Structure 1
Amino acid sequence: MVHLSTIHWVYFGMVIVIIATMALRRDTVLPCVIGILLVGFVSTGNAWKSVQVLFNALIAAGTEFLGLITVIGLVVAMSKAMGDVGSDYLIMRPTARIMVNADIAFWVLGFVMLIVTLFIWPSPAVALIGAIMLPIAVRAGLSVMGAAVAMNIFGHGLGLSGDYVIQGAPAITAKAAGFATATPVMSASFPLWLTMGIVTTVLSYIFVKKDITRNKGENEAHRLAYEKADEKQKNRKFTSVSYVGAALFVILFLIDIFLLLKFKLRGGDATALIGGTALVITSVISLLGFGADSLEKITDYVREGFLFGMKVFAPVIVIGGFFFLGSESTARAILGPQATGLLSDLGIALSQAVPLSKIPVAFIQMIIGGITGLDGSGFSGLPLVGSLAQTFSTAIHVDKATLGALGQIAAVWVGGGTIIPWGIIPVAAIAGVDPNDLARKNFIPVIIGLIVTTIVAIFIL
């Protein structure tokens, strides 16, 4: 039995304040700073120690985000190097023949993102797909925000929530639910995954089309900018370095995909391979393309890439510092060994407070999955939703595999993430859009999708 203490109510109150601030379309850094200080003060009972908690929270968040900051910086550096010698245009030219309008661009970009995500997970997939295919999609008439929505919904939402190839998510859920293998959860999740996917992608497509019509001037300006860049590329003289750079990109990343599959590299290992490859390509292009000036040129590329990454992530480190207090492992690193997972505690308390029957249990599982995802990690809540599925199935005799799959989908779609700004930074960074705006675009399709998926789950339970 979980008993909520003062620290839980303070934390939960600040979560509400932050969500309200987001709803008002205002930045959330200051509320997060206040929240960390309040939680630190309640935890330590000491004002100056709460200031230390604030700093420790930023260090913990920065450590968690360092891998993403680095890979985005290195991919941006590679993109700039390839752009200077014309290699990016040579790679994009064949794909442009497929994306002939905004409608095709949305679905092609989305499905390519889904397929790549299933094999290497979304963050490295974003780095690969966004740098090459996003400009083509925009030139075809899709808005920059629409391209970001497509990559985010299909990758961090649809691809990661099913995770049918790598099987990381269903394996965690299944183990916590008492299954020997991930197969029962994967089988049970498919109709729910399909429902969630159809609802969210179709609604997102409809909203993106409306936004394109509503913001014709802005979208046309973006399209013309990419078109102008494309015209310059068409008229430029391509050298042997241009072709070598393009070939190097294709060959090395195909080798990466082979290695990812052969050695089952996942998560951070996959991101490390992608990031390291990007730096190798940047180095080779700099050496071949600029000769004696390559030493200074590669420094400029790396500097520009990391400046871009830090500019995007600076506010997210503060926001992440607050929400990492909700996860037990990071909360202990910030507050000390006595800390518990505040979000997990809130989820368990909610499940204990509501009378049990099939309908409320399904919605509780969905809500708890979403709550655990607020820390920006779609996987941190999976042990909890798996355990709750086993508990609920014993209490009211419902299918625990389906219940676990429902919690998994909610946790990953929220925290993986699609509707919280600190969970969608990779896509926002590659697309160059505000993560708060992207979260707002995703919010209605994802929430409707979760509700419809929960209703479908009730009939299956």
Structure 2
Amino acid sequence: MVELTMLHWIYVIMTLVILMVMIMRRDTIIPCIIGVFLISFIAKRSIVGATKGIFDSFIVATSELIGIILVISCIVAMSKVLEEIGANNLMVKPFAQFIKTPDIAFWFIGIVMLIVSWFFWPSPATALVGAVLLPVALKVGLPAIGVAMAINLFGHGLALSSDYVIQGAPTITASAAGIPVEKIMLKGTPLFLTMGIITIIIAYVLLKIDMKKGKIIGPKVDFDEESNRKKTSNVAKFAAVIVPIAFLLDIATMFYFKLRGGDATALIGGTAVTLMIIITIAEYKRESLDKITKFIKDGFMFGMEIFGPIIPIAAFFYLGEISPIEAVLGKGVLPLGSQGILSDMGRALSSIAKMNRPVVASMEMLVGAITGMDGSGFSGMSLAGSLAKVFGTAVNGSIPVLAALGQIGAIWVGGGTLVPWGLIPAAAICRVKPMDLAQRNFIPVITGLIVTTIVAMLLI
């Protein structure tokens, strides 16, 4: 067994500090930067080297995340042009004719939200689906809080935690765990399904019970339907048809050519950019060059706004792997035979503590859920992936299953289904209070997390 060094213990101590900061609902960027500084200082034994290590760690983290940052930015850029020309309404509006009862409204909105979120990310999808289908749902008797729950649980919960198309969440988790992204997506599927099915069914049943008891009464909401009455252009109609077809062809291409991970992400991103350019040129003609620049700028601003705070956090946790820490601090920084700080700690842990699979599954879920308390499910996935490798090594279990479990905990808690400060998009579009939505989600989400953890114990 490799002897643990001061670098190992500094990493462990700072990880505990970061967890404490998350529990106190404070941002973790400063502790993460301090952790990078201390590790760099111990390795380089100089202030200059430690200071340089901070920036170098950012570069390494960015290189790991740049692909997903770019694809999200490209997709949002495309969604901007669709929104501006009114094609987003046309894409979803035909589904409104199928909504006849509150029950159909809940499940239909949820499923549409799930599909749209896989391709457009939950935040843009919330505005896209909510703005069009909320008035229809209210008309058939589904309260606004029910619409918010459907949008929230299917989109920011199930879609974002599984993330099969864009692969943002599994890419971050897999990078930190040091495993291929497709392994998390494959091994994590039973967990994603368990969490989604259990949580959403319980939420639906409790909603129906309270509706029958009269505890939930849909408030009257005045919506401005001018945009729906506004005449849409032929280009918007064309875009509403070609965009879904293009992404369906992407899915077929992924299956046929067995594209996974970065290749699949690149296909989605390239398709989004191509569609944005074609639609913008067709709609704006001479103004298209300036418009394309605007849409690209808006997309990248969104991407950096989401991932800007994640880079410093990921920079610290990536140092637990052998390749990133050597890229930042140079080769030979760890003892001979070391497989990385996390692997070393996992082996050490397995030799001194009788950890079993139920214990590590519970710890992985707990840590994932705690990291989500800052309201950003993504900020905790690097830690979830890193700990999955530690725990998986300690019990000789499945690292992908543990990583998927931690990812579920981080996303469902912090991605926008449980903590009030992460529920603002869905609550705002449905005109309900974030705290009310959080209270409605609490029992279903907590129950789902517990059941999913038990399932994970059997799969590790």
Q: Which residue of 1 aligns with 2:405?
A: 410
Alpha-carbon deviation of 1:455?
4.6
Q: Secondary structure of 1:330's partner?
A: helix
- Aligned 1:118-267 pairs, distance under 5 A: 132-133=128-129, 135-136=131-132, 140=137, 141=144, 147-157=151-161, 190=190, 195-201=194-200, 227-228=223-224, 231-267=225-261
More moved, 3-12 vs 244-253: 3-12
CA contact (8 A) 1:28 1:319 kept: yes
Match of residue 297, structure 1, among 291, 300, 321: 291
Q: Which residue of 2 aligns with 1:396?
A: none
TM-score for both structures, normalised by structure 1: 0.69
Q: Which residue of 2 aligns with 1:376?
A: 382
CA contact (8 A) 1:134 1:147 kept: yes
CA contact (8 A) 1:326 1:341 kept: yes
* Counterpart code for 1:252: A
CA contact (8 A) 2:78 2:295 kept: yes
Alpha-carbon deviation of 1:114?
6.2
Q: Structure 1, residues 175-231: CA drift from partner, whole Å, max 9, x if none? A: 99xxxxx9xx96x985x666544444456779999xxxxxx9xx989x86xx43xx1
Alpha-carbon deviation of 1:362?
2.2
Distance 1:96 1:44, change over 3 A: farther
Distance 1:114 1:305, change over 3 A: closer
More moved, 285-294 vs 343-352: 343-352
Distance 1:46 1:35, change over 3 A: same
| 1:313 and 2:313 correspond | no
Q: Structure 1, residues 336-361: CA drift from partner, whole Å, max 9, x if none? A: 333553334334333333236xxx44
Q: Which residue of 1 aligns with 2:377?
A: none
| 1:352 and 2:351 correspond | yes
* Counterpart code for 2:44: T
Q: Which residue of 2 aligns with 1:342?
A: 341
Q: Secondary structure of 2:259's partner?
A: coil
* Counterpart code for 2:307: F
Distance 2:205 2:342 in 1: 33
Distance 1:99 1:21 in 2: 45
Distance 1:318 1:444 in 2: 33
Aligned residues: 407
Match of residue 323, structure 2, among 329, 336, 356: 329
Q: Secondary structure of 2:319's partner?
A: helix
Alpha-carbon deviation of 1:279?
1.2
Distance 1:220 1:82, change over 3 A: farther
Q: Which residue of 2 aligns with 1:20?
A: 20
Q: Which residue of 2 aligns with 1:80?
A: 80
Distance 1:130 1:324 in 2: 32
* Counterpart code for 1:42: I
Distance 2:443 2:48 in 1: 41
Distance 2:88 2:158 in 1: 24
Q: Which residue of 2 aligns with 1:55?
A: 55
Distance 2:127 2:259 in 1: 22
Q: Secondary structure of 1:301's partner?
A: helix
* Counterpart code for 1:294: S
Alpha-carbon deviation of 1:127?
8.6
Q: Which residue of 2 aligns with 1:11?
A: 11
Q: Which residue of 1 aligns with 2:360?
A: 364
Distance 1:331 1:370, change over 3 A: farther
More moved, 266-275 vs 49-58: 266-275
* Counterpart code for 2:129: M
Alpha-carbon deviation of 1:48?
0.9
Q: Structure 1, residues 146-165: CA drift from partner, whole Å, max 9, x if none? A: 734432321343576xx9xx
* Counterpart code for 2:31: P
* Counterpart code for 2:154: A
Where in structure 1 are there 5+ consecutive unaligned residues? 177-181, 210-215, 392-399, 423-427
Distance 1:305 1:48 in 2: 36
Alpha-carbon deviation of 1:276?
1.3
CA contact (8 A) 1:75 1:127 kept: no
Distance 2:56 2:207 in 1: 40
Q: Equivalent pairs: percent with the same residue?
A: 33
Where in structure 2 are there 5+ consecutive unaligned residues? 138-143, 209-215, 372-379, 417-421, 429-433
Superposed CA RMSD in Å reads 4.8
TM-score for both structures, normalised by structure 2: 0.70
